[in-house]
Amino acid sequence: MFIPINDHVHHVGLAGSEQAPPLVLLHSLGTSSALWQAQMAAFACSHRVICPDFRGHGLSELSATRLSIETLAGDMLAILETLDISRFAMAGISLGGVVAQAVAAAAGDRLSGLTLFDSYVLSQNPAMWTDRAAKVRRDGLGAISEAVLSLWMSPAERADTDGRGLARMLATTPDEGYASGCDALANADNRARVGGIHAPTVVACGALDRAAPPEASRVLAAMIPGARIEIIEGAGHIPVLHHARQCTEIIRSVL
């Protein structure tokens, strides 16, 4: 469905019964709600699955203003309010995981469980994100797509069906949508927020992730009260496709 939020039209994928417990899934930079198709199918029988597209991704409109993690988190909270969601569980990956931290801190006791995949509490390299945004605006996303895909997947994964689908998600992301996400990640800093997250939390990470390495996940987990760490062996930065069953069970463990 399409929802007008903060002067932007957002696309939100929905599955499952409106009477079921809500589960919110937040995608990564350069992908869309389609990233979660396996998890949507797995949880639709037991949960109301809510998969928004961030501004400038999927079918949501480009942002008319400079993006920040706070802006994206505000969009997500407004979507939940529009859908009359009071209590919910949530999972996010990469950019979605950073946004999920801010949403979780703001939601307080409304949050019943949290899973953060391949994320971090503080921008790993602000200058890199700023430079990347400038390059994409100047030369287009295609100028960096090969480098991005090599961070996301192994060569074997890139050649299979899911890998080709993931490459299509990146290719169909608007240049400005990707660049705006880079703007948000350049200034990401949730250190003052995550200590206020008290829902059961798992911080998971691909063992081979070079974009948000396991050490960043360990630092994040240590800052969230009671959080536990899960390392997904053989996985890179986007494990929810090629390691879909294991990621689904990790999410299920906090529901």
- Region 59-86: mean pLDDT is 97
What pLDDT sits at residue 124?
A: 85
Sheet-wide strand order for 111-117: 2-5, 8-15, 48-52, 22-26, 88-93, 111-117, 201-206, 228-232
Residue 172 lies in a domain: no
118 inside domain: yes
What's the rounded mean pLDDT across residues 52-68?
97
Q: What is the pLDDT of residue 211?
A: 94
Per DSSP, 57 falls in state S
- Strands (E) across the chain are located at 2-5, 8-15, 22-26, 48-52, 88-93, 111-117, 201-206, 228-232
Segment 181-209 shows an average pLDDT of 97
Evaluate whether residue 154 is within a structural domain: no
Of 21, 77, 86, 84, the closest CA to residue 48 belongs to 21
Give me the percent of the chain exceeding a pLDDT of 70: 100
- Under the banding of pLDDT at 50, 70 and 90, the label for residue 56 is very high
Question: Would you say the pTM of this structure is higher than 0.95?
Answer: yes
Dig out the tokens for 167 from the structure: 């490459």
What CA–CA distance (Å, rounded) separates 60 from 239?
24
The total number of structural domains in the chain stands at: 1
Please indicate, yes or no, if residue 37 is contained in any of the structural domains: yes
134: its two tokens: 């400038």
219 within a domain of the structure (yes/no)? yes
Domain housing 16? 2-122+188-252
Average pLDDT over the chain reads 97
Asked, for residue 179, whether it belongs to a domain, the answer is no
What is the arithmetic mean of pLDDT over 8-26? 97
Domain assignment of residue 167, yes or no = no
**CB neighbourhood size of 215 (10 A):** 11
Taking Cα atoms as reference points, which of 146, 181, 162, 132 lies closest to residue 235? Answer: 162
Q: How would you classify the pairing of strands 88-93 and 8-15?
A: unpaired
Task: Give buried/exposed letters for 168-189 (b at 16+ CB in 10 A, else e).
Answer: ebbeebebbbbbbbbbbbbebe
Inside any domain, residue 145: no
CATH for 203: 3.40.50.1820
